[in-house]
């Protein structure tokens, strides 16, 4: 204190003497806060784990799609020329079975 004298203050008082003593109060215990923190950490860990699994799954499907596309291109190339002319699977720009790319780094689940 500025006066350099020890202060004396009643820390524990009678609840009947306190003005707001009869008002309802919501007390938050440290156990409740710890439970909420643990629940949030568990949720974040579960989300991160599931997001990694989903990203790996999508990357695997992308690789499988490329392999399937290569096999279809090989089959079409083995067809006789007259059968290839009847195929209407080519897109406007001439690319056979276009693949829409998925970038796992920028995808938000």
* Residue at 50 is within a domain: yes
User: How many separate domains does the chain show?
Assistant: 1
For residue range 65-106, what is the model confidence (pLDDT) as tens digits?
888 888 888 887 777 766 655 655 554 455 555 556 555 556
With CA atoms as reference, report the closest residue to 76 among 68, 31, 48.
68
* Residue at 20 is within a domain: no
* Residue at 63 is within a domain: yes
Collapsed DSSP state (helix, strand, coil) of residue 7: coil
* Residue at 8 is within a domain: no
* Residue at 17 is within a domain: no
Domain range holding 90? 33-106
Cβ distance 74 to 96 under 8 Å?
Answer: no
pLDDT value, residue 108: 55
For residue range 2-37, what is the model confidence (pLDDT) as tens digits?
777 877 776 666 767 777 666 676 677 888 888 999
DSSP code at position 12? S
Confidence category of residue 41, pLDDT binned at 50, 70, 90: very high
Backbone torsions φ then ψ of 25, nearest 5 degrees = -130, 150
* Residue at 25 is within a domain: no
* Residue at 41 is within a domain: yes
pTM > 0.85: yes or no = no
């Amino acid at each position: 204190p500025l006066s350099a004298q020890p202060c004396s203050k009643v820390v524990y008082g009678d609840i009947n003497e306190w003005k707001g003593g009869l008002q309802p109060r919501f007390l938050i215990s440290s156990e409740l806060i710890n439970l909420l923190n643990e629940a949030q950490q568990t949720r974040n860990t579960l989300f991160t784990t599931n997001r990694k699994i989903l990203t790996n799954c999508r990357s695997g499907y992308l690789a499988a799609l490329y392999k399937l596309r290569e096999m279809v291109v090989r089959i079409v190339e083995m067809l006789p020329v007259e059968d290839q002319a009847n195929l209407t699977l080519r897109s406007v720009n001439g690319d056979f079975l276009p693949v829409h790319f998925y970038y796992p780094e920028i995808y938000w689940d």
